[in-house]
Homo-oligomer: A and B are copies of this chain.
Amino acid sequence: MRSAKDDRRVKYTKMVLKESFIKLLSKKDISKITIKEICEDADINRATFYAHYSDQYDLMRKIENELLENISSYITEFAKKSNNFNDVELIEKIFEYIKENAQLCKLLLSKKGDLDFQKRVMMLVYDKNLIDLTNEGIFSREYADYIYSYTITGCVGIIQKWLEDGMDKSTRFMAEMIIRLTTYNNAPK
């Protein structure tokens, strides 16, 4: 069962292209990065780039999706190993992951990054693991949807600030704060 995806050459090509792209992204905005430039840095033929990606934005999107998958399995792994954990610990895991992968995360989760992607990261936690506000009957349906949006984007803002400040607060401090801020008890039925 031979697949191009498993070919060492392909793996190498994609790896170095991603590395060079990230290196460039830390220096300038994606709109100013050219494909020629990425390929020269990676020492990969330009035609080869086009065999895998349509442009720098496509490459970016694929890096984002990979990060998303990595965070997801990181959390799943944690949930499997420890059979007794609470919400704070789970959210702490997210912060730990970000800290361990700070270089990339700083680029993708900063205020210059793509908000839609950042929301998806937050949804990883909230969709699967946290209290469903509607089911608890605290809020009406129409309220719950808005609260969900508020919570998700609010958390994005928190993480951005944490990254901007050089991640000086502990992961535990952050996780506890998030839990506190996202637990509402002051809205009408």
* One of B149, B154, B169 near A150 (C-beta < 8 A): B154
> Is A86 at the interface (CB under 8 A from chain B)?
no
Q: How far is the CB of A30 from chain B (nearest CB, A)?
A: 8
Majority DSSP secondary structure for residues of A touching B: helix
* CB nearest neighbor in B for A160: B149
Question: A185 to B187, alpha carbons, bound, how many Å?
Answer: 12
How many A residues, CB 8 Å from partner? 35
B-contacting 9-mer, from A7-15, A72-80, A138-146: A138-146
Q: How far is the CB of A158 from chain B (nearest CB, A)?
A: 5
> Is A183 at the interface (CB under 8 A from chain B)?
yes
> Is A131 at the interface (CB under 8 A from chain B)?
no
Question: A80 to B123, alpha carbons, bound, how many Å?
Answer: 42
- Check B153–A149 contact: CB distance below 8 A: no
* CB nearest neighbor in B for A182: B150
> Which A111-126 residues sit within 8 Å CB-CB of chain B?
111-112, 115-116, 119
Q: How far is the CB of A59 from chain B (nearest CB, A)?
A: 13
CB-defined interface of A43-73 with B at 8 Å, one 1/0 digit per residue?
0000000000000010000000000000000
- Chain A interfacial positions (CB closer than 8 Å to B): 31, 57, 111-112, 115-116, 119, 142-143, 145-147, 149-158, 160-162, 169, 177, 180-181, 183-188
